[in-house]
A and B are shown apart, each in its own frame.
Chain A
Amino acid sequence: TQLLEQSPQFLSIQEGENLTVYCNSSSVFSSLQWYRQEPGEGPVLLVTVVTGGEVKKLKRLTFQFGDARKDSSLHITAAQPGDTGLYLCAGVDDMRFGAGTRLTVKP
């Protein structure tokens, strides 16, 4: 089992601020996925990162996969209240999730 650690566990910021959340493991992943989940709903896939060192952008969200494919980060620029949610990373190899980062963006 490949364990994924996410940090921070909780994050509360003001609208307009930037933030970065992390997903780390001691194991190498063939690829990692990032999801966002809102209360009472299933997770929604944001991105899949596959290549070490890869950077993917999705509007104000920037995802990076570490060179060694053991870690990943998600950076949000100018956060908005609509970004509020639980951000989860998951390894494609075993479909297990990290504990998640619960983000709250205050207007």
Chain B
Amino acid sequence: GAVVSQHPSRVICKSGTSVKIECRSLDFQATTMFWYRQFPKQSLMLMATSNEGSKATYEQGVEKDKFLINHASLTLSTLTVTSAHPEDSSFYICSAIPGGGYEQYFGPGTRLTVT
């Protein structure tokens, strides 16, 4: 149990375009999901906390207008990278916590490359 999926696994886009990444909890409901970014050979950096039915809470230094997060249901959160630039190229990972729990389960990640 506690499986989290992400789609797509890899995406290449041109500079200036927008990309949407989906994060789904497949076998549980998640009131809270988290979005992380990971650069090569570095740890995970928390970008934002996504709460179902409310606005996401962004970490300091993360532009909320650039990284749009929508958590419309208890099993789906989306991250849209708007007007992507090459410096946005990274590995984006989501995680979800089952309702009432505290252990987070991670998706497999999405590799974004902006050309």
Contacts and interface: CB of A to CB of B under 8 A. Distances in A.
B42 interface: yes
B68 interface: no
A106 to B, nearest CB: 19
B102 A44 contact: no
Nearest to B106: A42
Interface in B95-115: 95, 102-109, 111
A48 interface: yes
A82 B1 CA distance: 23
Interface of B, helix, strand, loop or mixed by DSSP: strand
Interface residues of B, number: 23
Interface size class of A (residues with CB under 8 A): 20 to 34
A66 B44 CA distance: 24
Interface of A, helix, strand, loop or mixed by DSSP: loop
Nearest to B102: A92
Contacts of A44: 106
Nearest to A89: B43
Given A40-B109, A100-B43, 9 more contacts: A31-B102, A33-B103, A41-B109, A43-B93, A45-B104, A45-B106, A96-B46, A97-B45, A99-B42
